Amino acid sequence: MTRIGVWSIGARGSVATTAVLGALAVRAGAVEPIGCVTERPEFAAAGLPGIGDLVFGGHDLHGTHLAKGAEPLAGAGAVPPRLTEMFAEELGAVDRRIREGVETPAAGFSRRHVDSLERDLREFAEAESLERVVVVDLSGTEPPPAPAPELTGPGRLEEALDAGNARIPASSAYAYAALRAGCSFVEFTPNAGPRPPALSALAERLGLPWAGSDGKTGETLVKSALAPMFATRALRVRSWSSTNLLGGGDGRTLADPGSNDSKTSSKARGLEHLLGHPVDGPLHIDYVPDLGGTKVAWDHVSFEGFLGARMSLQFTWSGHDSALAAPLILDLARLTAHAHRTGRVGPVPELGFFFKDPAGGGPHGLAEQWRALTAWCSDDRGGLR
């Protein structure tokens, strides 16, 4: 039986916890795999690893036991309460595989830090007899990294790590360790991860695939379906204003202006690509603790039609962030493992279907992204290489 490791950065967070609990429940036949794209018939021919073949572990800085962490998710309605008791033992087994991560050192990352992360990954793969491991970044959103020589090429990065002063974001330190351990990587946040030239070149050199960035789970998912409608009908969008309200850990992180800038920039780039031109309109992300794990978005679109007629569209989106993201983690783990098995190297553009700011080029409209993804999985030669 093929066993694929899924190693989460932020392994005790709500998204990782929901993904693990969901995978256990699907494997046991306790729930249907609703929201799991890879369970659709279009992917049957790809020979993807099954959800039941996934083995979970991860890094985290802190957090409660997975079974305990699932309780507030159940209380908020994001997961069925019966599942937390039904799979308490299995959640305990996963929790015992979680290792302590690293915080960004004031002086910068050293060889000791990344070697420790790499060692955890290698020990996980060996202990669980895994065919391959996919590392998924589910950590908090970081501010954009400041320019630094060590981000420009693998050689300079290696020198800075040896000197103990590598000024790289934590997400890139985790990506470095993952690549050195022979793991593929998924950047599910707006973080830098493997995007800087030093990391992307290392992935190419080691022959490893990666995907990212910033999972498309809510408002931007709607935008990626609606914006092409305006473009293809030759309707001129004059402004697109958005307000996002978030609770929980993600909202708390985005209350920091630097982290907020990373998120809003990622969302804005996607809309410009979809419409084919810059568009006016503020984009706000506000932290509302009372919402917990729920996220709410309100959008107002002003557009112009024939003879200059002014019109508008408004929509509201509300959903449980962890329940929206968790099935995509399972999809991306299976698809990235498939990319690794079939010899893909570097960013995999076909996986842009899942991201706000897709790496590797390719279309931004949801329908076009869907066609690219399913064409790749029905015949790998049909990919966007």
What's the pLDDT tens digit per position in 61-112? 987 899 999 999 998 889 999 999 999 999 999 999 999 999 999 999 999 9
Please check the confidence at residue 194 and state whether its pLDDT lies above 70: yes
pLDDT of amino acid 251:
59
pLDDT of amino acid 383:
46
Please write the tens of the pLDDT for every residue from 238-255: 999 999 898 876 656 655
Give me the torsion for CA of 43, 49, 55, 61, rounded to 10°: -50
Whole-angstrom CA distances from 106 to 154, 209, 320 are 22, 31, 35
List 185's β-bridge partners, or say none.
Answer: 135, 210
pLDDT of amino acid 76:
87
Share of the chain above pLDDT 70, in %: 92
Please check the confidence at residue 22 and state whether its pLDDT lies above 80: yes
- For tokens 């021919």, the residue is 45
pLDDT of amino acid 254:
56
Please check the confidence at residue 338 and state whether its pLDDT lies above 70: yes
Please check the confidence at residue 256 and state whether its pLDDT lies above 50: yes
Please check the confidence at residue 381 and state whether its pLDDT lies above 70: no
Please check the confidence at residue 134 and state whether its pLDDT lies above 90: yes
* 172 CB-near residues (< 8 Å, 6+ apart): 145, 151, 192, 193, 194, 196, 198, 199
Band (pLDDT 50/70/90 cuts) for residue 52 is: very high
Residues 186, 184, 252: CA angle, nearest 5 degrees = 25
pLDDT of amino acid 278:
86
Q: Taking the chain, what is the end-to-end CA distance rounded to the nearest angstrom?
A: 30
Q: Indicate the average pLDDT of the chain.
A: 91
Please check the confidence at residue 258 and state whether its pLDDT lies above 60: no
Rg (CA), the chain: 20
pLDDT of amino acid 252:
62
Share of the chain above pLDDT 90, in %: 78
pLDDT of amino acid 264:
57
Strand order in the sheet with 346-347: 98-100, 54-60, 4-9, 132-137, 184-187, 209-212, 346-347
Please check the confidence at residue 224 and state whether its pLDDT lies above 80: yes
